[in-house]
């Protein structure tokens, strides 16, 4: 057990969220997660709170469009960063395998050490091949200014559909400008990535990836026309609007009650 690790009793009202946080801290301790990854997680938690930590219909619609896109793609690639490796490594590898997608380590705060640690984590999670770590296949996307411009010639470089969960805005817009389809997961519908992406899944990655595996199992029984139909009817701007409206509604509902946590109400009794 880590020196600062806490035991989270099942009865703790926020046990689920605390366990996810512990996973990320553990990933940080192992060297997978960047310092900024901890900050990014906190931002995600805040938005998830407003979503009441549930997967909403708008996220499911986006997941269906994402799976349809990956199934129809010629070169689907799943990008992996520190947070993704720490939180959902096993399911992410599994989903990539089901969809015949390549896995590529691609870091914002790139160090050789983290690249290799993340590759090892993916291999431990069942990955047979991990791109993005082999200098021989490294090339640059000049449209991207920071370290994420280095991509694998067998991966993101030739990809037609790229999965970049928990991503920064610059690379998303650059990939879009290069004509690639970009799928993201981002709890913040206002982020530049969420706004630029072709398909934005506004949900916690921890809930979204297992749900996407479930959706794949359903869509794998459908024909090509059915998948194309999902994409013809998909509108990312509508999905983003629905996410923001849901957040607004949740806040309005909670605000109308003032104190909404039952325990607090019980404690304060007639003082409120
Ligand atoms: O591992 P690296 O070096 O590639 O760096 C990864 C981070 C995440 C640090 C880097 O990509 C970064 O700085 O990202 P941003 O710009 O902070 O964006 C991350 C987005 O993910 C934010 O909009 C968060 O709200 C969102 N987010 C954080 N945790 C989750 C999440 N979305 C879904 N599920 C989460 N668990």
Q: Give residue 220's pLDDT.
A: 98
Q: Is 90 exceeded by the pLDDT of residue 131?
A: yes
Q: 193: CA distance to ligand 1 center in Å?
A: 10
Q: What angle do CA 52, 57, 63 make, to 5 degrees?
A: 110
- Cα(24)–Cα(6) distance, integer angstroms: 13
Q: Which H or E element spans position 84?
A: helix 82-98
Residue pair 151/72 in contact (Cβ under 8 Å)? The answer is no
- What is the rounded average pLDDT of the residues 114-140? 97
Taking the CA of residue 47 as reference, the ligand 1 atom at the shortest distance is 25
- What is the rounded average pLDDT of the residues 82-86? 98
- Burial class of 2 by CB neighbour count within 10 A (0 to 12, 13 to 18, 19+): exposed
Nearest CA to ligand 1 atom 20: 166
Q: Give residue 267's pLDDT.
A: 74
Taking the CA of residue 118 as reference, the ligand 1 atom at the shortest distance is 1
Q: Are strands 76-80 and 102-105 parallel, antiparallel or unpaired?
A: parallel
Binned at pLDDT 50, 70 and 90, residue 254 comes out as confident
- Burial class of 71 by CB neighbour count within 10 A (0 to 12, 13 to 18, 19+): buried
Say which residues have a Cβ less than 8 Å from residue 106's Cβ, sequence separation at least 6: 79, 80, 81, 132, 148, 150, 151, 156, 164
Q: Is 70 exceeded by the pLDDT of residue 2?
A: no
As a 3-state breakdown, the chain gives helix, strand, coil percent values, each rounded to 5, of 55, 10, 35
Say which residues have a Cβ less than 8 Å from residue 36's Cβ, sequence separation at least 6: 108, 109
Q: What is the DSSP letter of 132?
A: S
Instruction: Name the pTM for this structure.
Output: 0.94
Q: Which H or E element spans position 182?
A: strand 181-185
Residue pair 243/236 in contact (Cβ under 8 Å)? The answer is no
- What is the rounded average pLDDT of the residues 144-160? 88
User: In order of start, what are the domains of the chain with their CATH numbers?
Assistant: 57-243 (3.40.50.12640)
Taking the CA of residue 109 as reference, the ligand 1 atom at the shortest distance is 3
Q: Are strands 138-140 and 150-152 parallel, antiparallel or unpaired?
A: antiparallel
Q: 84: CA distance to ligand 1 center in Å?
A: 9
Residue pair 258/272 in contact (Cβ under 8 Å)? The answer is yes
Q: Which H or E element spans position 253?
A: helix 236-257
Residue 186 CB–ligand 1 contact under 6 Å: yes
Residue pair 68/219 in contact (Cβ under 8 Å)? The answer is yes
Binned at pLDDT 50, 70 and 90, residue 73 comes out as very high
Residue 109 CB–ligand 1 contact under 6 Å: yes
Integer-rounded Cα Rg, in Å, for the chain is 19
Nearest CA to ligand 1 atom 19: 166
**In this structure, how many other beta carbons lie within 10 angstroms of the beta carbon of residue 261?**
11
**In this structure, how many other beta carbons lie within 10 angstroms of the beta carbon of residue 268?**
10
Taking the CA of residue 167 as reference, the ligand 1 atom at the shortest distance is 11
Residue 166 CB–ligand 1 contact under 6 Å: yes
Taking the CA of residue 39 as reference, the ligand 1 atom at the shortest distance is 17
The model's pLDDT over 176-205, given as tens digits with 9 standing for 90+, comes to 999 999 999 999 999 999 999 999 999 999
Q: What is the DSSP letter of 101?
A: -
Average per-residue pLDDT in the chain? Answer: 93
Residue 230 CB–ligand 1 contact under 6 Å: no
Residue 34 CB–ligand 1 contact under 6 Å: yes
């Amino acid at each position: 057990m880590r020196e600062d690790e806490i035991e989270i009793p099942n009865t703790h009202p926020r046990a689920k969220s605390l366990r996810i946080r512990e996973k990320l801290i553990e990933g940080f301790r192992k060297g997978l997660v960047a310092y900024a990854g901890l900050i990014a997680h906190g931002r995600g938690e805040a938005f998830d709170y407003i979503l009441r930590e549930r997967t909403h219909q708008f996220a499911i619609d986006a997941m269906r469009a994402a799976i349809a896109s990956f199934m129809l793609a010629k070169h689907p690639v799943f990008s992996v960063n520190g947070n993704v490796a720490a939180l959902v490594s096993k399911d992410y590898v599994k989903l990539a395998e089901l969809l015949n997608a390549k896995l590529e380590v691609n870091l914002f705060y790139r160090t050789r050490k983290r690249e290799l640690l993340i590759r090892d984590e993916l291999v431990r999670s069942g990955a047979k091949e991990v791109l993005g770590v082999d200098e021989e296949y490294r090339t640059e996307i000049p449209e991207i200014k920071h370290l994420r411009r280095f991509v694998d010639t067998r991966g993101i470089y030739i990809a037609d559909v790229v999965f970049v969960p928990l991503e920064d805005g610059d690379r998303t817009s650059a990939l879009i400008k290069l004509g690639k389809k970009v799928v993201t997961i981002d709890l913040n519908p206002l982020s530049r990535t969420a706004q630029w992406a072709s398909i934005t899944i506004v949900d916690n990655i921890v809930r979204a990836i297992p749900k996407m595996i479930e959706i794949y199992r359903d869509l794998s029984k459908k024909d090509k026309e059915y998948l194309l139909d999902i994409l013809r009817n998909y509108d990312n701007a509508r999905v983003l609007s629905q996410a923001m409206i849901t957040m607004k509604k949740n806040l309005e509902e909670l605000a109308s009650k003032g104190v909404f946590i039952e325990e607090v109400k019980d404690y304060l009794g007639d003082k409120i």
